[in-house]
Structure 1
Amino acid sequence: MDLLLSEEMLLLALDGDKGGTTWLSGWTALTGGVLVDAIAAGAVTVQDETLRPGRESGHPLLERVREAVAAEPEPRTMGDWVQRLPVVLHPLVEAVAARLVADGVLGEEHTTILGLIPTTRFPEVDPTAERVLRGRLRSILVEGVEPTPHDLLLIALVEPAGLLATATGDEERAVRRAARRRAA
């Protein structure tokens, strides 16, 4: 299965056992990942620093982005969409996780915190996709394998989100430091 950048970012951010995350600083990066996915698929285009609707992508998440861009009376900038898209796709994490849930990579559990606040968790059902992703990132960041353009975009989005240190799945500080240097 070919994953979107945003889906890969979510897999890196989730705690596979609990299905939740403490990745509070990365939601803007996740939104950026969705926008980059939509641009890469041609679902939206950039013209004069604003986003415009593009062609149908066939991916439900990217179609929602295209439809949101098309519904705006005036074109908005990429910065505007980074702020607006989480509202349009609300709940953002569930929107990104939908295909992973449908394909059996993640499960979906609806619970409440203290019996009051509804929350959704996405525990890992099939660890294969995440294992392959972490192995690919490790080969690039630690072993020096040449990255694909997709991998370069992923690394560029993951690093500012604070996920690079855990992207390789390695607990050794020296390995994580080497991965950060290679990513830079």
Structure 2
Amino acid sequence: MTDDSIHPQRTRTLITEDLLLVLFQPDSGTIAGENTLFYVLAGGVLTDLARQGGAEIRDAGIRGTLISAAGDPPEDELLRPMWDYVLQKPRGVQGVLAASGPTLRGPVIERLIERGDLRREKRRVFGFFPSTALVEGGSGRRDELIAAMRAVLVEGEEPTERSAALTALVSASGTLPVLHREIPWSGATATRAKSLEQGDWAAGAAAAAVTRTMIAVVANSLITSAVVANR
């Protein structure tokens, strides 16, 4: 399996999109970790920006780690608002996630529907009241993403840059145990996931090194956000 090609025609799919698709629970039609989802999706966007050369990390000494814009404005409209935000001035990771996350859920769901990964299904509550539910779209992409994560976490396969980033973000969100029916949860699984959060995977390319560093920073912020949200 190549790095960005679960399906060859979808090489421009964002990690942010795959992240929400993995968190979608087909049995219930819900999304795991809704209480911190906007932080998690913003973490995905920041990771996507870094992978495309649009964001970089700066050590600001006593001010901590700051995120600043880099390169040209991203073409993808989902990434542009965050790039514009950090273009104004370097900002802390927690602030970037909080400022960018709240508007992401709807647009990402719409993209997944457009791609056929999810679809809306009309239903009736109590047989009378019309409602709409999200269901799998039949593309098979979620199954393939889960299989790639399971291969890394359970079977010990060396991850690609993309699968490592996706797995690390899911783990940092605190929702990985929710997937236990598809990815068996164990101490070994947790340990492997934590190592990915810390950027501990083999990757020789410069772009992969940037992703590893950004993932470690984002994962730390997501864990902090989850702790605060669940108090």
TM-score range with shorter-chain normalisation?
0.7 to 0.9
1:1-184 paired onto structure 2 within 5 Å = 1-2=10-11, 3-27=13-37, 28-47=39-58, 49-52=66-69, 54-70=71-87, 72=88, 74-87=89-102, 90=103, 92-108=104-120, 122-167=134-179, 169-170=181-182, 175-177=184-186, 178-184=188-194
1:130 offset after TM fit, Å?
0.3
Q: Is the 8 A contact 2:21 2:112 kept in 1?
A: no
CA deviations over 1:27-75 (Å, ceiling 9, x no partner): 22222122111221123344452322532433231233324444x4x44
AA paired with 2:97? V
AA paired with 1:79? Q
- Distance in 2 (CA, whole Å) between partners of 1:164 and 1:126 is 23
Q: Is the 8 A contact 1:43 1:63 kept in 2?
A: no
SS state of the match for residue 107, structure 1? strand
- Distance in 2 (CA, whole Å) between partners of 1:182 and 1:45 is 26
SS state of the match for residue 69, structure 2? strand
Q: Cα 1:83–1:21, aligned 2, differ >3 Å: closer, same or farther? A: same
SS state of the match for residue 123, structure 1? strand
User: Which segments of 5 or more consecutive residues in structure 1 lack a partner in the other structure?
Assistant: 114-118
- Distance in 1 (CA, whole Å) between partners of 2:14 and 2:20 is 10
User: Which segments of 5 or more consecutive residues in structure 2 lack a partner in the other structure?
Assistant: 1-9, 61-65, 126-130, 195-231
Q: Cα 1:18–1:10, aligned 2, differ >3 Å: closer, same or farther? A: same
- Distance in 1 (CA, whole Å) between partners of 2:81 and 2:122 is 23
Structure-1 residue corresponding to 2:211: none
AA paired with 2:158? E
TM-score (norm 2): 0.61
1:16 offset after TM fit, Å?
2.2
Q: Percent identity?
A: 27
1:128 offset after TM fit, Å?
0.7
1:131 offset after TM fit, Å?
0.5
- Distance in 2 (CA, whole Å) between partners of 1:143 and 1:76 is 38
How many positions carry a matched residue from both structures?
A: 170
AA paired with 1:123? V
Q: Cα 1:122–1:181, aligned 2, differ >3 Å: closer, same or farther? A: same
- Distance in 1 (CA, whole Å) between partners of 2:53 and 2:109 is 21
Considering only aligned residues, what root-mean-square deviation do their CA atoms show, in Å?
Answer: 3.0
